[in-house]
Structure 1
């Protein structure tokens, strides 16, 4: 299996088999000095926008390596995008959710400052937290050999969510909901899953989001942790969407 390295500044659209692609900067340094990639090894280089170039490394330097392209994979953007709205949670539970959701194919992530969130991103901490999640997403993309890099949006309040998710079908993961997620069928709109924190979504937030058009759905009889609910929902809908 190839190891994947990302460089969003690369223009891979015109690369053909036999061409040489140069990877530079921190990503190349990590490949050469940390992962110890050497000439003759097979790796992949991606632009994060749907193109992966697989090939064999022909040369390496301290902060550069050159790949001879053998196979170019061009993947179209999904017809139905999936967004995970993940409530901020204590410990690393929200980060675990973001990591797993990325591996499972989520297309965008929105950090949510829910009423019952124990963790708070305020002031400079807000951008620092977003960057932390973006780094987790990037590493998960590389681990899972995905061609597209999901965007991590700035943290949103409950009041901001309807505008942030305008045009999408919003599904609230709520254990007491009457509708099971397994009976939901895609209708052509993008999908957004809203996952609450450890204490669940507050009643006032449920009312506000439902009034904005969100649909409460349940995953099953058991109550999942905030770290597993979103990824589980993505897995269910990936079958309905034909992704799996």
Structure 2
């Protein structure tokens, strides 16, 4: 397969561009691409550019070729609101959600979230998750990068959802997605933490107008539930 790379900044229509140090390091030292190797660059604005690698000393350049206006975004815009999960679970959720076509990811602080983030530490984790999303786009062929939003408390996120099409995954609650009518705009899906939702949190979701939805009679882990919901929505309303 031809290697794909995200190029930070707007790609010109032709000519050549110097590869940023991180990109050049990955291409030359990690993937060990040789001078003249074919590659594909995308800048996140839609479309991708054929290119060839030019190696000059320790520096890398891309000789730009034809630009293709291909769009691999899903027809259903799903925003995944994921309650913070511990360990590498958030990395896993971000990576796989991007592969499944998520439009954006909103990390949410819930009462029973094992991981607690705020301030500079939260900013660093968000930046890390955004880079995970970039890497997932490189691998999956997407040319637009879903935004990973800043971490917000659940109450703050719910305030922003009033009037939106939003669902909360709750075992034993409501019908499944196939029983719903397809909305006109974005679909927001809220996933709980390892310890599940508290009764007060579910009541707050109800008050904010979220619809409870189930994914069947089994209880799914937090890192499984959102991905399962994305797959269902892609199969029901998207491009699966």
Q: Does 2:183 match 1:187?
A: yes
DSSP-derived class of the 1:160 partner: helix
**Could you report, residue by residue, the CA deviation over 1:65-97 in whole angstroms, capped at 9, with x for unpaired residues?**
223424513328655421111111122222211
Q: Does the Cα contact within 8 Å between 1:99 and 1:136 map onto a contact in 2? A: yes
Q: Any idea what SS the aligned residue of 1:240 has? A: helix
Q: Indicate the larger mover: 24-33 or 99-108.
A: 24-33
The aligned counterpart of 1:74 is 70
Contact 1:7 / 1:23 at 8 angstroms: preserved in 2?
no
- The counterpart of 1:157, out of the listed 138, 153, 156, is 153
Structure 1: gaps (5+ residues): none
Q: Is residue 47 of structure 1 aligned with residue 65 of structure 2?
A: no
Aligned residue number for residue 36 of structure 1: 32
Output the TM-score relative to the length of structure 1. 0.89
Q: Residues of 2 paired with 1:23 and 1:238: CA distance?
A: 38
The alpha-carbon deviation at position 239 of structure 1 amounts to: 2.2
8 Å Cα contact 1:50-1:74 kept in structure 2 = yes
Provide the rounded CA distance (Å) in 1 between the counterparts of 2:24 and 2:123.
Answer: 26
Q: Is the alpha carbon distance of 1:67 and 1:183 closer, same or farther for their aligned partners in structure 2, counting shifts above 3 Å?
A: farther
- Alpha-carbon distance between aligned partners in 1 of 2:76 and 2:108, rounded to the nearest angstrom: 22
Distance in 1 between the 2:188 and 2:224 partners?
Answer: 16
- Number of equivalences: 238
CA contact (8 A) 2:166 2:189 kept: yes
> Against the structure 1 CA distance between its residues 3 and 178, is the aligned structure 2 distance closer, same or farther, given a 3 Å change threshold?
same
Q: Which residue of 1 aligns with 2:143?
A: 147
Q: CA deviation at 1:165?
A: 3.7
Is 2:190 the counterpart of 1:208?
no
Unmatched runs of 5 consecutive residues or more in structure 2: none
In structure 2, the residue matched to 1:176 is 172
Does structure 1 conserve the Cα–Cα contact (< 8 Å) formed by 2:162 and 2:209? no
Q: CA deviation at 1:146?
A: 0.9
C-alpha contact 1:2 1:54 (8 A) present in aligned 2: no
Equivalent of residue 135 in structure 1, options 128, 131, 143:
131
Aligned pair in 2 of structure 1 residues 46, 213: CA closer, same or farther (>3 Å)? same
Give 1:166 deviation, angstroms: 5.2
Q: Quick check: 1:52–1:73 contact (8 Å CA) kept in 2?
A: yes
Normalised to the residue count of structure 2, the TM-score between the two structures is: 0.90
